[in-house]
């Protein structure tokens, strides 16, 4: 209740300029929903092609809105103009919030986060990590009280839930600002305690293990997907979900969870997700995963 009250006090005033670091599947989506709610966004990547991909995704989603007459072409242009793409760090100085959405690798994330603290001195900093403990990532920071997790789900523009993670040293003020930002997006924040995988990925990882086990026992991909989606009313089964997430990201997450919970989240001997990731068949983003995507 106290947090909701504090978040309300920040709403609409404090977070107006947002930095998003990493313009991949998640970063592109986060930039789009943030700009769509009237905030300005600096979208940074180290890779020109990645940046272009993030922007083209926003373009596609907005074009669909125009097609459905939910937005005018002028509104579409205004939203796109609020996203400033960059390969450099300079435009981050005046941001109020920076969200890190680079690869799920603790070493890369620690380096990026430490840089952000210098580049965006007035911002609260958040990680979109799926599985890495926020308190662990905070160790690379001088001001860990300004840091928390803001974990979106994929596809960002469709999924209403966002986990907001309180690390050991996250201040109440930081948490309240993060919650107010999620509210501003029209999404549903759930504040969760810090541990590897938080809440959702602690449920999802064993599901993927069960899918892998079924496959190695001779199960058929399409049948498993059909049963799990029709049986539960979910939009897709595990194989397609893994393709949407990205097999590289999923393989990293499984490693993190196996290390954090060695008794419960084993690393399977035959790991089809890792096999596909090793082949660089990352799913939807490369055109081939468990399925072929045109």
CA neighbor of 136 nearest in space, from 90, 177, 197: 197
Binder of ligand NAD out of 104, 163, 225, 243 (CB under 6 A): 104
Binder of ligand NAD out of 22, 91, 197, 238 (CB under 6 A): 22
41, 83 contact by CB (below 8 A): yes
85 binds ligand NAD (CB under 6 A): no
Binder of ligand NAD out of 84, 103, 192, 227 (CB under 6 A): 103
Q: Which of these segments, 22-30, 34-42, 62-70, 272-280, binds ligand NAD (CB under 6 A)?
A: 22-30
Beta bridge partners of 100: 21, 127
Size (the chain), residues = 294
Q: Which of these segments, 39-47, 134-142, 169-177, 270-278, binds ligand NAD (CB under 6 A)?
A: 39-47
**How far from each other are the two terminal CA atoms of the chain, in whole angstroms?**
47
Cβ of residue 227: shortest distance to ligand NAD, in angstroms?
22
Q: Which of residues 194-223 bind ligand NAD (CB under 6 A)?
A: none
Q: Which of residues 109-168 bind ligand NAD (CB under 6 A)?
A: 112, 128-130, 151-154
Cα dihedral sign, 10-13-14-20: positive
27 binds ligand NAD (CB under 6 A): yes
Determine the size of the site formed for ligand NAD (CB under 6 A): 28
Beta bridge partners of 193: 166
Degrees (nearest 5) of the Cα angle 103, 105, 109? Answer: 80
Q: Which is nearer to ligand NAD, 131 or 183 (CB)?
A: 131
Token pair for residue 266? 């084993």
Q: Which of these segments, 38-46, 141-149, 229-237, 272-280, binds ligand NAD (CB under 6 A)?
A: 38-46
Q: Which is nearer to ligand NAD, 108 or 203 (CB)?
A: 108
Residue 288 DSSP label: B
Q: Which of these segments, 10-18, 19-27, 133-141, 174-182, binds ligand NAD (CB under 6 A)?
A: 19-27
Binder of ligand NAD out of 17, 36, 45, 225 (CB under 6 A): 45
Q: Give catalytic status of residue 252 as yes or no.
A: no
CA atoms within 13 A on the CB side of 27: 32
3-class DSSP assignment, residue 129: coil
Dihedral pair phi/psi, residue 6, rounded to 5°: -65, -40
Cβ of residue 217: shortest distance to ligand NAD, in angstroms?
26
CA atoms within 13 A on the CB side of 188: 4
* C-alpha dist (Å) from residue 182 to 12, 98, 146, 173, 197: 11, 13, 16, 14, 20
Binder of ligand NAD out of 212, 249, 271, 274 (CB under 6 A): 249
Nearest-angstrom CA–CA distance, 181 and 150: 10
Binder of ligand NAD out of 15, 20, 26, 258 (CB under 6 A): 26
120, 113 contact by CB (below 8 A): no
Cβ of residue 288: shortest distance to ligand NAD, in angstroms?
15
Token pair for residue 220? 């058929």
Cβ of residue 86: shortest distance to ligand NAD, in angstroms?
10
44 binds ligand NAD (CB under 6 A): yes
Q: Interface with ligand NAD by CB under 6 A: which residues? A: 21-27, 44-47, 50, 101-104, 108, 112, 128-130, 151-154, 245-246, 249
Active site residues: 151
């Amino acid at each position: 209740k106290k947090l909701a009250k504090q978040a309300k006090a920040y709403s609409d005033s404090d977070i107006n300029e947002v930095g998003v670091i990493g313009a991949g599947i998640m970063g592109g989506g986060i930039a789009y929903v943030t700009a769509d709610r009237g905030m300005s966004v600096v979208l940074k990547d180290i890779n020109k092609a990645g940046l272009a991909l993030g922007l083209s995704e926003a373009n596609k989603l907005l074009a669909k809105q125009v097609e459905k007459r939910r937005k005018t072409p002028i509104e579409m242009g205004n939203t796109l103009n609020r996203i400033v793409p960059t390969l450099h760090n300079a435009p981050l100085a005046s941001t109020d919030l920076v969200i890190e959405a680079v690869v799920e690798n603790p070493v890369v994330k620690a380096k990026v986060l430490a840089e952000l603290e210098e580049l965006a001195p007035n911002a609260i900093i958040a990680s979109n990590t799926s599985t890495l403990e926020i308190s662990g990532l905070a160790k690379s920071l001088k001001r860990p009280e300004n840091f928390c997790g803001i974990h979106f789900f994929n596809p960002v523009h469709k999924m209403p839930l966002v986990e907001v993670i309180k690390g050991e040293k996250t201040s109440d003020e930081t948490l309240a600002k993060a919650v107010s930002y999620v509210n501003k997006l029209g999404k549903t924040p759930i504040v969760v305690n810090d541990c590897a995988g938080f809440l959702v990925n602690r449920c999802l990882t064993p599901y993927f293990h069960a899918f892998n086990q079924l496959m190695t026992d001779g199960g058929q991909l399409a049948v498993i997907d059909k049963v799990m989606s029709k049986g539960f009313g979910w939009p897709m089964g595990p194989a397609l979900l893994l393709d949407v997430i990205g097999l590289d990201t999923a393989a990293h997450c499984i490693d993190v969870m196996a290390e954090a919970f060695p008794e419960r989240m084993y690393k399977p001997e035959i790991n089809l997700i890792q096999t596909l990731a090793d082949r660089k068949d990352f799913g939807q983003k490369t055109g081939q995963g468990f399925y072929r995507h045109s």
